[in-house]
């Protein structure tokens, strides 16, 4: 092959490593392919389109969840960029308070150091050093995935501008009366030693013991009141026993005193409507320091508050359990209660228990003074914009989940007992009075003294994340107004997991409305949950989570991107196995080989690139598509584009890739390119052949553009070979092809009839076992003069595609030993004599008929059985009847085939 030819075509085999290296993020970034400018919107009038990247944790590494989420985002941003919008994808990472501090503390622990040994300032120095060394790993891996962010705008939630926004947001909410400091029962993680919001607690089913304990009545010797609890270790902090005022069993005991077992303390018996008469004994121990509901009961009855479990999950009592782990104390107190004679009975009890999302330990309800955001005032407008359709959810059923949470929202605990994060901008004077300000100097000015101490706590990580649509565009306070905010806010599309609909989505809506007066985005696309082939969620502990980098190394990045979207319908879980990526790899290979075939035809009819470019750049697809297959291809291509763009407008990304796959593999490769070979081997002039090749390239290039948002690497490589394009050009910035409604509506019956005819010939060949190497004689009896003319001009095409020798037949008897069929009123017969052994085929058919006859009889017997018919579920019976219909249809075909061989 000459040097010219090598340039004129692709390498023989597709090597994804070379292609990805050539057209990777470094190349695209150097070209500025993904830059978006506010001036293009504000001065040139381009329509903006903005995607907001959910900031991955700096502690993270790439998972298949990231692959799905970021591939979806990349598809949306590339598509809108190619449809002419000023498309901005805002990247960044999250400081991940608990996760990052835990990682660094573990590292220091190996060196025998704790954060307390170092002090706050030095410890934070270690965290920043760790972030500099490892914090960008996830971004480098995302670049490997080929995502097209405007990386100049990369933001870290602890960057100066983002931190300034967080502090100002806190101050604004505090001064507006929406942030307060209060004592509440909060979720406490004994491992991370910090408060958790309700959304950071994962409910899990857990088997515990429901323990029945009797409390002696002070004024009635020998009489007891019995309670039931799953936390007997907290009996030591009981301050009352509550009964329902409507419960007649205990009416005479209200106001009496009972003795707390082990502790020996006297506590009152009170009446409160909160008590569930049906649960346990109907008598409830009240332990306000260790249960949120008990705390509310205690406040109503002015009861004291006692605590016996510390921040580390260990007991703090004075009754012999101090220093013990809470669960060890639970076991010991059961034995002690039994020895005292106060243990009535124990039952197995399964219930939902809260676990720390990060540490995976049982959360401890803990009475603590924390900072909170009042959520109900913020939730009202955030619910309204979703109800009104100003923000749309895809799939829409998540609206119900959103409504339920918003309607039952609780105040948000935003303080965390950590050192890594945004420190709460509150200072305390000697009298304990709080002063909220942006700096120590401002706080001193407000307080009139410099004897102030800053709050030790930091803000919940999500407090910076809920400002993300604002801070990524340079917002720092309510007065912020810059070019980017005017051009790109509100953003357009948020792609995220449904598991953070409360953590993040709802709160961003609240923040956007409160601080900016506008929704933060217009559409929210909720991704699927990825599971393994057994239906289990992917996790490191199960060892069922493939490393995406290794998958990309093996199959190619485009293959992984394509596959994970292909198998992920909107609103449905994804069952992923690494071997499924063969689908994407095979498709990439098909694209490559089909492109090579087209370029080989180009080599035959054009001297060089210059001659091809001169004709192709002036090429008019309408006038070139004069043959039957060309008209059919062009109509199908524009029909595909219509479905493609419609699917994008409806966020049916899975349908987008299936539309592309089906068109390219089936229509373009399996049918059109085969028809093109026949056409080019006919009596065409060189000019006609060139027009035919240009049409094939035209549809190939348009399909490559449509595929580019999904498979950016291979499409950029081949697109450059369509015309000898400079490496400084990119398909990412080329215009997306649009559908022509007139072409899409073209009558396709001519070529479609040939397709059906060829398909039926192939089916009959397979049915009768005609060897693939044999060319069968096929007789065609047209059903109309129009079809006769169509067949006469299409005999070479039918011969090649059907691997047969077709000829038209006049009205005559059906030939003997011929397999026949009817296609849209046209009869066809395959002459079997000499192609197969009739004797062997008869034996095979008779054996198969016998097997299926027995199967049919067994289903009839099953359906006639009254026991089955009366007791089986309707869907099971329906499936059996469907099996019967299919078997009887097969039996009829086999008998017909046997009759053909017996003529």
Place of tokens 């319908």: 569
Helix (H, G, I), strand (E, B) or coil at 509: helix
- Strand pairing of 458-459 and 415-416? antiparallel
HEC assignment per residue over 663-723:
HHHHHHHHHHHHHHHHHHCCCCCHHHHHHHHHHHHHHHHHHHHHHCCCCHHHHHHHHHHHC
pLDDT digits (tens, 9 = 90+) for 493-542: 999 999 889 989 999 999 999 999 999 999 999 998 899 898 888 876 67
How many alpha carbons lie under 13 Å from residue 211 in its C-beta half-sphere? 23
For the chain, how many helices (H) and strands (E)? 35, 29
pLDDT value, residue 542 = 76
CA distances from 802 to 269, 665, 670 (A): 91, 18, 12
CA distances from 199 to 180, 183, 202, 203, 501 (A): 19, 19, 8, 10, 10
Q: Residues with Cβ < 8 Å from 692, sequence gap 6 or more? A: 624, 627, 630, 676, 679, 680, 684
- Strand pairing of 257-259 and 201-217? antiparallel
Beta carbons of 28 and 732 less than 8 angstroms apart: yes
Which segments in the chain show pLDDT lower than 70?
Answer: 1-8, 540-541, 625-626, 811-812, 841, 902-903
Q: CA-to-CA distance for 884 and 290, rounded, in angstroms?
A: 63
Cis peptide before 213 (omega within 30 of 0): no
Beta carbons of 235 and 263 less than 8 angstroms apart: yes
Taken in order 666, 668, 669, 670, the sign of the CA dihedral is positive
pLDDT value, residue 599 = 96
CA distances from 22 to 26, 713, 716, 720 (A): 9, 9, 10, 12
Q: CA-to-CA distance for 270 and 302, rounded, in angstroms?
A: 11
pLDDT digits (tens, 9 = 90+) for 23-74: 988 899 999 999 999 999 999 999 999 999 999 998 888 899 999 999 999 9
Q: CA-to-CA distance for 667 and 276, rounded, in angstroms?
A: 67
pLDDT value, residue 130 = 92
Place of tokens 């490393």: 547
CA distances from 353 to 204, 227, 350, 405 (A): 5, 20, 9, 19
pLDDT value, residue 625 = 64
Among 247, 258, 239, which residue's Cα sits nearest to residue 297? 239
Q: CA-to-CA distance for 459 and 425, rounded, in angstroms?
A: 9
pLDDT value, residue 903 = 60
Tokens of 560: 């992984």
pTM to 2 decimal places:
0.84
Beta carbons of 47 and 84 less than 8 angstroms apart: yes
Helix (H, G, I), strand (E, B) or coil at 873: coil
């Amino acid at each position: 092959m000459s040097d010219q030819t090598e340039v004129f075509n692709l390498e023989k085999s597709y090597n994804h490593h070379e292609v990805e290296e050539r057209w990777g993020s470094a190349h695209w970034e150097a070209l500025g392919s993904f830059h978006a400018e506010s001036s293009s919107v504000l001065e040139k009038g381009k329509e903006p389109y903005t995607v907001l990247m959910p900031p991955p944790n700096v502690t993270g590494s790439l998972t298949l969840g990231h692959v799905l989420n970021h591939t979806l985002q990349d598809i949306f941003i590339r598509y809108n960029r190619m449809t002419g919008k000023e498309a901005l994808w805002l990247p960044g990472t999250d400081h991940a308070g608990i996760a990052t501090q835990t990682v660094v503390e573990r590292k220091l622990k190996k060196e025998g150091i704790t954060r307390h040994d170092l002090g706050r300032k030095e410890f934070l120095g270690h965290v920043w050093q760790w972030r500099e060394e490892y914090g960008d790993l996830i971004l480098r891996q995302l670049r490997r995935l080929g995502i097209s962010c405007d990386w100049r705008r990369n933001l870290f939630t602890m960057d100066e501008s983002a931190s300034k926004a967080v502090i100002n947001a806190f101050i604004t909410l505090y001064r507006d009366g929406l942030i307060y400091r209060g004592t509440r029962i909060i979720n406490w993680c004994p491992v991370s030693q910090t408060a958790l919001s309700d959304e950071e607690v994962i409910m899990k089913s857990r088997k515990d013991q429901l323990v029945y304990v009797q409390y002696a009545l002070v004024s009635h010797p020998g009489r007891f009141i019995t309670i039931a609890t799953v936390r007997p270790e907290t009996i030591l902090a009981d301050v009352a026993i509550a009964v329902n005022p409507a419960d007649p069993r205990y009416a005479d005991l209200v106001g009496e005193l009972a003795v707390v077992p082990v502790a020996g303390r006297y506590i009152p018996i009170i009446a409160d409507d909160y008590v569930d008469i049906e649960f346990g004994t109907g008598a409830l121990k009240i332990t306000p320091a260790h249960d949120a509901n008990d705390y509310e009961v205690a406040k109503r009855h002015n009861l004291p508050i006692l605590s016996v479990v510390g921040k580390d999950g260990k007991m703090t009592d004075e009754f012999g359990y101090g220093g013990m782990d809470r669960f060890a104390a639970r076991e010991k107190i059961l034995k002690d209660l039994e020895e005292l004679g106060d243990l009535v009975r124990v039952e197995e009890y399964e219930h939902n228990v809260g676990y720390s999302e990060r540490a995976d330990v049982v959360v401890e309800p803990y009475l603590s003074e924390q900072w909170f955001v009042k959520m109900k005032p913020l939730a009202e407008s955030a619910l309204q914009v979703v109800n009104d359709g100003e923000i749309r959810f895809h799939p829409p059923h998540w609206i119900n989940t959103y409504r339920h949470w918003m309607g039952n929202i609780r105040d948000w605990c935003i303080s965390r007992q950590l050192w890594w994060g945004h420190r709460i901008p509150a200072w305390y004077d000697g009298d304990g009075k709080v002063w909220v300000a942006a700096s120590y100097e401002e706080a001193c000015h407000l307080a009139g003294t410099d004897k102030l101490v800053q709050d030790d706590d930091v803000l919940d990580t999500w407090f910076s994340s809920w400002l993300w649509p604002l801070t990524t565009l340079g917002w720092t306070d309510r007065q912020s107004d810059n070019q980017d905010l005017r051009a790109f806010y509100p953003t357009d599309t948020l792609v995220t997991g449904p598991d953070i609909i409360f953590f993040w989505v709802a709160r961003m809506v609240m923040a956007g409305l409160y601080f900016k007066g506008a929704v933060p985005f217009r559409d929210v696309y909720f991704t699927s949950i990825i599971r393994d082939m057994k239906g289990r969620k992917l996790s490191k502990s199960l060892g069922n989570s493939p490393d995406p980098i290794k998958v990309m190394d093996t199959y190619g990045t485009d293959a992984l991107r394509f596959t994970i979207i292909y198998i992920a319908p909107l609103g449905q879980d994804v069952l992923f196995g690494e071997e499924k990526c063969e689908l994407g790899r095979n498709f990439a290979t098909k694209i490559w080989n089909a492109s090579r075939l087209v370029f080989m035809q180009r080599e035959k009819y054009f001297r060089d690139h210059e001659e091809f470019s001169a004709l192709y750049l002036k090429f008019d697809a309408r006038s070139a598509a004069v043959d039957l297959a060309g008209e059919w291809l062009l109509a199908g291509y524009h029909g595909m584009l219509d479905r493609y763009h419609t699917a994008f407008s409806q966020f049916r990304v899975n349908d987008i890739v299936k539309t592309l796959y089906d068109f390219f593999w089936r229509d373009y490769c399996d049918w059109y390119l085969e028809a093109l070979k026949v056409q080019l081997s006919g009596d065409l002039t060189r000019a006609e052949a060139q027009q035919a090749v240009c049409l094939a390239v035209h549809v190939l290039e348009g399909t490559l553009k449509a595929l580019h948002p999904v498979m950016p690497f291979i499409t950029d490589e081949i697109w450059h070979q369509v015309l000898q394009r400079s490496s400084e050009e990119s398909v990412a910035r080329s215009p997306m092809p649009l559908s022509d409604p007139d072409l899409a509506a073209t009558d396709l019956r001519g070529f479609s009839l040939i397709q059906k005819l060829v398909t039926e010939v192939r089916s009959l060949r397979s049915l009768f076992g005609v060897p693939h190497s044999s060319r069968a004689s096929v007789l065609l009896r047209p059903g109309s003069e129009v079809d006769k003319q169509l067949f006469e001009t299409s005999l070479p095409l039918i011969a090649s595609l059907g691997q047969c020798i077709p000829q038209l037949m006049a009205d005559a008897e059906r030939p003997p030993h011929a397999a026949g069929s009817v296609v849209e009123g046209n009869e066809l017969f395959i002459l079997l004599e000499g192609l197969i052994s009739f004797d062997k085929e008869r034996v095979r058919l008779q054996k198969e008929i016998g097997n299926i006859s027995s199967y049919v009889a067994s289903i009839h017997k099953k359906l006639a059985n009254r026991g089955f018919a009366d007791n089986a579920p309707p869907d099971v019976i329906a499936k059996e009847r469907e099996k019967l219909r299919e078997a009887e249809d097969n039996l009829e075909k086999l008998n017909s085939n046997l009759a053909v061989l017996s003529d």
